[in-house]
Structure 1
Amino acid sequence: MIVNDRQAQAWNGYEGRHWAEHHDRYDAVNAGFNAVLLRHVRPGDRVLDVGCGTGQLTRLAAGLCREAVGIDLSAPMLERARATAEADGVSNVRFVRGDAQVHPFPAATFDVALSRFGVMFFADPVAAFTTVGAALRPGGRLAFVCLDDPRRGDLGPVLGTLVPHLPPTDGDGTGVAEPLSLADPDVTRRVLTAAGFTDVDCVPVEAPQVWGRDAEDAAGFLFAWGPVQHQARNLAPAAAARARAALVDALRPHERPDAVRLRGTAWLVTARRPD
């Protein structure tokens, strides 16, 4: 059952296909945050990865625990996740298509629930985290990273250079509001407390994010990213060229000999299901 129709449409449409086709590039962007999550995995754990996408974190967790299960709305991303796990010979991992807000997880099954930027899109966050909490055994742990204010890292100012060149967002939340739904730690604490979690903690974390080989390559990738394409898809060719050129200029200062690296920032959120 899926209740989050808008996100299901996005992640089974252009957004999900782009992530699946460029999974290695998105992993290069986000892999720096894996370590702060994987330290919460113990041998013998059963791990639930919420919003697992193409499954890199799920596979890595599987290498540290008894079993890892990834759940996501996106059929194309899960197809890629399963194919990569099979190619890598990871046998103790399983991927499920579903809406974590309402998915009928077996009660008290998992020792820890993880998420790498996958929990910001819930239609009803309290209901979703209540469902995830019920899937955890008593005393089970929750650890996820979510976006914070994008101005605190490098990506916000880079994307800010596009503002004069793009039409304003239509305000439906696609690519803007929902990814920042947990950017305020006070909101996150209220949501998790209402969902029955205790010992909620929010800690700022940083990691380098690789966006491309050089500024031109990174700008092309960023310009094709779903939130940007949502605004740029109807631009006339000349306007699109100006926007992309502005993005190249903004990325030039972040070029290194081997890659374009931006300083990524997030919140590491941890909590516990009561005993």
Structure 2
Amino acid sequence: MANPAGTNTAGTNTAGTAEIVNVHQSEAWNGYEGEHWAAHHDRYNAINSGFNEALLDAAGIGTASRVLDIGCGAGQTTRLAARRAHEGTALGVDLSAPMLGRARAVAAEEGVGNVRFEQGDVQVFPFGEGTFDAAISRFAVMFFADPVAAFAHVARALRPGGRLAFVSMPDLGGTDLGTVMAAAAPHLPGWQAASAPDSGEPGAHGSGPLSLSDPGHVRSVLGAAGFRDISVRRIEAEEIWGSDAADAAEFFTGWGPVRFHLEGADPEPLRTALTAAFRRFERAGAVRLDGAAWLTEAVR
């Protein structure tokens, strides 16, 4: 879940870290989008953490592994990887300074000492060749400007035989989230235009949330990037979106892509529609959606 707005152009990170290719993504993640994630990291984790165990298991992380977390955000998966690799290390890399600040703070609070976080664009970050035994990502690799080049860069950062594991969004048709998005779409003026090819929205390979929703495309990209033994399988997990329908609707309205596509329109009709859509998923004191993802595994 990230801001799909904008095109990808070359540029430089003004914070003084590595070169940035995804300039517009960097602007979003260091502005409202990143601030929202940092402030609500626990809520985003409640949505996405059901996929953590399958992701980490697929990466084959051992006690002494060196792990790279691609687009680590506020660092939950990085910290979990570091705990598995308690005699090794885990590095989280992300564009977002606000989220990395949260990641460092939580790691310190939890006493996870074998983890570190760096700001930068994974597509061009200066990793040493063969530095890592495993690379993981939870819903972040869909936003690469050039996925073949980006995954080839990740492959070089892995040792021969090193493992890549990531989860990406599937097509939303027939899913609980698809039901919610369908209720939201009529109240988002920019949504239909953003669904056009190359926009980074539904239906486009591009560099948006659904860019890796086609398993055949995923296999093609990774094969071209130098990976082998590629497998893509569907996994499911519960996603908790809020304490009740109104709470979930308010949170969803503040999510970066939704706020972007509102384009200044009155958010109240959207909140009303979302509240109605989320109400059908209220159970056991929370809004619980049956979530789905593609889990991809590959070997350098």
- Into which bin does the TM-score normalised by the smaller protein fall? over 0.9
Matched, 1:43 2:63: yes
- Displacement of 1:54 in angstroms is 0.4
Matched, 1:229 2:259: yes
Q: Which residue in the other structure is 1:190 paired with?
A: 220
From 62, 65, 80, the equivalent of 1:60 is 80
Q: Which residue in the other structure is 2:16 paired with?
A: none
How far apart are the structure 1 equivalents of 2:199 and 2:71?
18
| Alignment of structure 1 residues 1-275 onto 2, 5 Å | 1-39=19-57, 40-65=60-85, 66-169=88-191, 170-171=193-194, 173=199, 178-236=208-266, 240-273=267-300
How far apart are the structure 2 equivalents of 1:152 and 1:16?
29
- TM-score, normalised to structure 1, is 0.95
- Displacement of 1:61 in angstroms is 0.6
- Displacement of 1:175 in angstroms is 6.3
Q: Which amino acid aligns with 2:38?
A: A
- TM-score, normalised to structure 2, is 0.87
How far apart are the structure 1 equivalents of 2:284 and 2:209?
31
Contact 1:161 1:246 in 2 (8 A): yes
Q: Which consecutive unaligned segments of at least 5 residues does structure 1 have?
A: none
Contact 1:175 1:226 in 2 (8 A): no
What RMSD, in angstroms, separates the aligned Cα atoms of the two structures? Answer: 1.3
Contact 1:167 1:232 in 2 (8 A): yes
- Same amino acid, percent of matched pairs: 56
- Displacement of 1:174 in angstroms is 6.0
How far apart are the structure 1 equivalents of 2:201 and 2:120?
21
Moved more, 169-178 or 187-196: 169-178
Q: Which amino acid aligns with 1:229?
A: R
Q: Which amino acid aligns with 2:25?
A: Q
Q: Which residue in the other structure is 2:11 paired with?
A: none
Secondary structure at the aligned position of 1:183 is classed as coil
Q: Which consecutive unaligned segments of at least 5 residues does structure 2 have?
A: 1-18
How far apart are the structure 2 equivalents of 1:140 and 1:163?
41
How far apart are the structure 2 equivalents of 1:59 and 1:224?
26
User: Structure 1 runs of 4+ off > 6 angstroms?
Assistant: none
Deviations 1:208-240 (A, max 9, x none): 00000000100100111111111124113xxx2
How far apart are the structure 1 equivalents of 2:77 and 2:174?
24
- Displacement of 1:166 in angstroms is 2.0
How far apart are the structure 2 equivalents of 1:81 and 1:156?
30
How far apart are the structure 1 equivalents of 2:200 and 2:171?
17
